[in-house]
């Protein structure tokens, strides 16, 4: 039998092909799927959206470019001065003798010198001012000696022809690709677009993401906390992570472990969003109806992933009244929610918007202390990384690493990633980590 490689590949086919499971029982899902395989299955199953919109660049931070931006002009448009000083023709500079130039005028940024400059002449010039005709070199004020009001002297051997001149087009030449399709717009990109005079760009439309928490024990903020209940924190971390990804949020609140309520909520979410994210109810407890309802509404795999935290996770596609949405049924434990979001959902949401590869960069560091680790699963430990006296990165874990201990995430500034086959870590071993923050 030929397995289809096309867009319509079913989730089951993909799972069987990529996880190496036999196809004998098409509805049997693999146990303890590795993180890499799960990421691969998600990446192949999820299809990018193709709707785009034109927006002003001030609205574009974090959005994903839907087409290349080609420069319609050279930046800078003219050769100009990199320093405050005097501009002149550099070919007469001597290595052995000092040179003298007569000042014939001044050039300011935005107010060019109008005439042309002959041999032995120079123009007082400010940073950013257009180089006058006949000039290719600028001597900075501090390297020149002014003689009266009309002349300068430049000591021998301090300067070469062409120094301190910025060339037209050195930032960006006309006709060149300034930004590539798939780029997530960052502050520098907004500045670059503005420097090209571009006020609007075409970006992928924002993804609509519906999310809700499931569990009888969950209370929302401002509700009384009955005995045995806890506040729902997952919806707040999800809200924050999805906001940073630039998604349009549909916050559907807390849903009780009740099959009828759950089904109606899944249907609403599927009919109004591109992606549905839930937390809780995907393990095998008695009240975990979430899994059951999800599988009734679409093609959903219930995974046990070889990872810690975050083992149970559901993934697939839901259908309701002719609409469909991708589903991520994340675990209930707050740290597991964040870990599965960062290492599965985030990439998938970016991929859906046609973003360039968004795999996080792993940075090497030395572990200050031993870390327990069992081979056969990927572990994500919350860490604090700092520079030691030798200027090298050293990391230690943030106390208790239980998957319910959200404080471990809050105190951490990085996540230590211990690969599937990694054994326990000894003090002084090299480990890999993902930093939480870079520059803003
Ligand atoms: P579950 O997978 O539904 O059994 O949930 C696993 C654990 O995570 C339980 O201790 C839940 O109380 C906890 N949990 C589930 N959802 C949330 C939530 N939204 N906020 C905080 N803790 C939660
Ligand atoms: Mg629950």
Q: Could you write out the DSSP letters of every residue in 100-152? A: EEEEEEEEBTTB---SB--TTEEEEE-TTPBPPBT--EEEEGGG-EEETTTEE
Q: Is residue 233 located within the same domain as residue 345?
A: yes
- Whether ligand 1 lies within 6 angstroms of the CB of 71 is answered as no
The residue-averaged pLDDT of 334-356 equals 96
Round to whole Å and give the CA distance between 346 and 73: 36
Which ligand 1 atom minimizes the distance to the CA of 217? Answer: 12
Cβ(385)–Cβ(392) below 8 Å:
no
- Among candidate residues 68, 57, 64, the one with its CA nearest the CA of residue 180: 68
The residue-averaged pLDDT of 117-143 equals 97
The residue-averaged pLDDT of 82-97 equals 95
Round to whole Å and give the CA distance between 337 and 116: 68
State which of 311, 332, 352 marks the end of a domain.
Answer: 352
The residue-averaged pLDDT of 77-97 equals 95
Which ligand 1 atom minimizes the distance to the CA of 281? Answer: 3
- DSSP 8-state symbol, 254: E
Least confident of 83-87, 161-165, 284-288: 284-288
CA-nearest residue, atom 11 of ligand 1: 332
pLDDT at 370: 96
Residue 127 sits in a domain whose CATH number is 2.170.190.11
- Whether ligand 1 lies within 6 angstroms of the CB of 332 is answered as yes
Please check whether residue 4 lies inside any domain of the structure: no
**pLDDT for residue 3 is more than 60:** no
Q: Which two three-digit tokens encode residue 307?
A: 């990872």
- Whether ligand 1 lies within 6 angstroms of the CB of 164 is answered as no
pLDDT band at 31 (very low <50, low <70, confident <90, very high): low
Q: Is residue 323 located within the same domain as residue 340?
A: yes
**pLDDT for residue 29 is more than 70:** no
The preferred substitution site among 212, 213, 215 for testing ligand 1, maximizing ligand atoms within 8 Å of CB, is: 215
- Whether ligand 1 lies within 6 angstroms of the CB of 232 is answered as yes
pLDDT at 30: 53
Residue 412 sits in a domain whose CATH number is 2.40.340.10
Q: Is residue 256 located within the same domain as residue 380?
A: no
313 CA distance to ligand 1 middle (Å): 13
Residue 194 sits in a domain whose CATH number is 3.90.105.10
Round to whole Å and give the CA distance between 208 and 274: 5
Q: How far is CA 421 from the centre of its chain?
A: 27
Q: Is residue 37 located within the same domain as residue 58?
A: no
285 CA distance to ligand 2 middle (Å): 8
414 CA distance to ligand 1 middle (Å): 23
352 CA distance to ligand 2 middle (Å): 29
**pLDDT for residue 152 is more than 60:** yes
- Among candidate residues 431, 414, 303, the one with its CA nearest the CA of residue 372: 431
Q: Is residue 297 located within the same domain as residue 225?
A: yes
Distances, alpha carbon 346 to alpha carbons 386, 393, 410, in Å: 26, 26, 19
Please check whether residue 31 lies inside any domain of the structure: yes
Round to whole Å and give the CA distance between 228 and 302: 28
Residue 369 lies in domain: 363-435
**Ramachandran angles phi, psi of 321, nearest 5°:** 45, 50
101 CA distance to ligand 1 middle (Å): 79
Round to whole Å and give the CA distance between 89 and 271: 70
pLDDT band at 8 (very low <50, low <70, confident <90, very high): low
227 CA distance to ligand 2 middle (Å): 16
Q: Which two three-digit tokens encode residue 215?
A: 């569990």
The residue-averaged pLDDT of 311-339 equals 97
pLDDT at 316: 97
Please check whether residue 3 lies inside any domain of the structure: no
335 CA distance to ligand 2 middle (Å): 15
- Whether ligand 1 lies within 6 angstroms of the CB of 256 is answered as no
Q: Is residue 65 located within the same domain as residue 88?
A: no
The preferred substitution site among 230, 285, 407 for testing ligand 1, maximizing ligand atoms within 8 Å of CB, is: 230
Q: Is the peptide bond before 223 cis (omega within 30 degrees of 0)?
A: no
- Among candidate residues 124, 95, 63, 2, the one with its CA nearest the CA of residue 355: 63
* pTM attached to this predicted model: 0.90
Q: Which two three-digit tokens encode residue 405?
A: 């201990």
pLDDT band at 28 (very low <50, low <70, confident <90, very high): very low
CA-nearest residue, atom 16 of ligand 1: 332
pLDDT band at 21 (very low <50, low <70, confident <90, very high): low
């Amino acid at each position: 039998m030929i397995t289809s490689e096309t867009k319509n590949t079913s989730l089951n086919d993909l799972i069987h092909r990529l996880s190496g499971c036999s196809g004998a029982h098409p509805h049997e899902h693999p146990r303890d799927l590795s993180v890499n395989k799960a990421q691969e299955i998600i990446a192949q199953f999820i299809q990018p959206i193709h709707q785009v919109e034109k927006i002003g660049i001030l609205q574009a931070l974090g959005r994903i470019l839907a087409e290349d931006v080609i420069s319609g002009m050279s930046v800078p448009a003219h050769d100009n001065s990199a320093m405050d000083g005097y501009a002149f023709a550099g070919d007469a500079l001597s290595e052995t003798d000092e040179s003298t130039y007569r000042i014939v005028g001044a050039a300011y940024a935005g107010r060019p010198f109008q005439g042309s400059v002959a041999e032995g002449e120079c123009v007082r010039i400010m940073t950013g001012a257009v180089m006058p005709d006949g000039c290719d070199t600028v001597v900075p004020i501090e390297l020149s000696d002014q003689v009266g009001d009309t002349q300068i002297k430049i000591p021998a051997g301090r300067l070469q022809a062409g120094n301190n001149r910025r060339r037209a087009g050195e930032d960006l030449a006309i006709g060149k690709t300034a930004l590539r399709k798939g780029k997530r717009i960052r502050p520098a990109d907004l500045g670059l677009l503005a420097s090209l005079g571009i006020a609007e760009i075409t970006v992928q439309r924002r993804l609509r993401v519906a999310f809700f928490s499931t569990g009888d024990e969950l209370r929302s903020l401002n509700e009384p906390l009955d005995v045995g209940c806890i506040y729902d924190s997952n919806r707040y971390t999800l809200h924050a992570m999805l906001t940073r990804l630039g998604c349009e949020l549909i916050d559907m609140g807390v849903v009780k472990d009740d099959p009828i309520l759950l089904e109606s909520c899944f249907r609403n979410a599927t009919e109004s969003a591109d992606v549905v994210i839930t937390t809780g109810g995907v393990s095998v407890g008695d009240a975990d109806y979430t899994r059951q309802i999800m599988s009734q509404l679409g093609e959903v795999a219930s995974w046990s992933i070889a990872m810690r935290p975050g083992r149970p996770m559901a993934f697939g596609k839901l259908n309701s009244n002719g609409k469909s949405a991708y589903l991520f049924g994340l675990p209930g434990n707050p740290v597991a929610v964040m870990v599965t979001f960062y290492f599965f959902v985030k990439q998938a949401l970016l991929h859906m918007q046609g973003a360039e590869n968004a795999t996080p960069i792993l940075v090497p560091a030395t572990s200050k202390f031993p870390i327990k680790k069992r081979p056969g699963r990927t572990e994500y430990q919350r860490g604090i990384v700092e520079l030691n006296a030798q200027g090298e990165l050293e990391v230690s874990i943030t106390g208790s690493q239980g998957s319910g201990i959200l404080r471990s995430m809050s105190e951490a500034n990085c996540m230590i990633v211990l690969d599937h086959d990694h054994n326990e870590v000894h003090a002084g071993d090299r480990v890999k980590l993902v930093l939480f923050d870079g520059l803003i």
